[in-house]
Amino acid sequence: MTDITTLPASAATPATRSKTFNYQRWLNRSLHYLVLSALAVITVYPFWWTLVTAVSTAGKVYAFPPALLPTEPGLQNFLEVFQTINVWAFYKNSILISGATVVGTLIICSLAAYPIARMRFAGRNFVFGAIVATMILPSEVNFLINFITVSKLGLTDTISGVVLPNLAGAVGIFLMKQAFEAVPQDLIDAAKVDGANEWEVFWKIMLPLAKPALGALAILTLVSAWNQYIWPSIVMTSVENFPLSVGVSYLKGAFSFKTRLVAAGAVLTVLPILIMFLFTQRYFLRGFEGAVK
């Protein structure tokens, strides 16, 4: 008897529970998206404001509350930027500097990460610990010592001077180390038995398998090399060597302070990297998935 009465009751419970559960889930989701949207607005708004300022040709720049939409939109500001500074030359410098930084970083970081990830040697943990420790310091701390080094080497006002100090980054080494550690030992052993030496294992097995991480590191490095401002402005002394990020500051130079021109210059600087990122975003995220888990 008791069996018969308890059975339907227990069968009914999951249904009621799932109803309340769904409601909670809905509430959770809504909150989730509310917070995410707020974050998105906070992050995106400065960019939006810059864009609005760059394409507006009338109205107050520093109106409050700030304008959400451009007034009398047009491209005059951009035209004026092209007339004021040599945008194409700056682009060329930016491309050279970021290109060299990306290639150099991929080489140096993977070469540094491989032994840390896959070889046994005395002091391995110490070396890795020291590399990770540098992440704590802001990069500005290095400017002084790096500048002294660069000038002693006679590299001021050269692309090498801007690029070299940035190649061995802790983040890149860390990322590559994670990727190399994820490769099963059997693959390395199989390659060794197949006749590969250490270099061939690295080049033909490890690097191809670390492609997602290499891709992520490439994009990460590209963005930061393209956008860097202070370091190239310290190293480069002649205007014709400036990357775009530094060159744009000339827009607020000797003449009156033209905020709309600076905004247009900023848009010109960010635009290529933004487009690039949009296209490679998926690859970028995949690289981190594999590396960080």
Partner 1 sequence: MAELKLKQLQKTYEDGPTVIHGINLDIRDGEFMVFVGPSGCGKTTTLRMIAGLEDISGGELIIGKQVVNDVPAAKRGVAMVFQSYALYPHMTVRENMGFGLRLAKQPKADVEAAVHRAADILQITHLLDRKPKALSGGQRQRVAIGRAIVRKPDVFLFDEPLSNLDASLRIQMRIELAKLHKELATTMVYVTHDQVEAMTLGDRIAVFNGGRIEQVGTPLALYEKPANLFVAGFLGSPRMNFLPSKVAGHGLQLADKAELDIQLPLPDGTPVTIGVRPEHIGLGYEGLAAVVDIVEHLGDTQIAYVRVKDIKDPLAVKLASNHTPPANGSTVRIAITPETCHVFGEDGKVMMPVRREETVLA
Our finding on whether 205 is near partner 1 (CB under 8 A) is yes
**Residue showing tokens 């500005």:** 140
CA–CA gap between residue 223 and residue 243 (Å, rounded): 13
Selected from 200, 234, 276, 280, the binder of partner 1 by CB under 8 A is 200
Going residue by residue from 171 to 190, which x/- string records binding to partner 1, judged by CB under 8 A? -------------x-xx-xx
Nearer to partner 1, 205 or 244 (CB): 205
* Structure tokens belonging to residue 293: 């888990």
- What whole-number distance in Å separates Cα of residue 247 and Cα of residue 226? 12
SS3 63: coil
Mark residues 209-228: x for contact with partner 1 by CB under 8 A, - for none: x-x-----------------
CB of 186 to partner 1, least distance (A): 4
- 65 binds partner 1, rule: CB under 8 A: no
Helix/strand/coil (H, E, C) string of 188-240? HHHHHHCCCCHHHHHHHHHHHHCHHHHHHHHHHHHHHHHHCCHHHHHHCCCHH
**Which one among 4, 136, 193, 254 touches partner 1, defined by CB under 8 A?**
193
* Residue type for position 3: D
**Min dist. Cβ of residue 113 to partner 1 (A):** 18
**8 A C-beta contact, residue 275 and residue 203:** no
The least distance separating partner 1 from the CB of residue 209, rounded to whole angstroms, comes to: 6
For binding to partner 1 (CB under 8 A), which residues are involved? 184, 186-187, 189-197, 200, 204-205, 208-209, 211
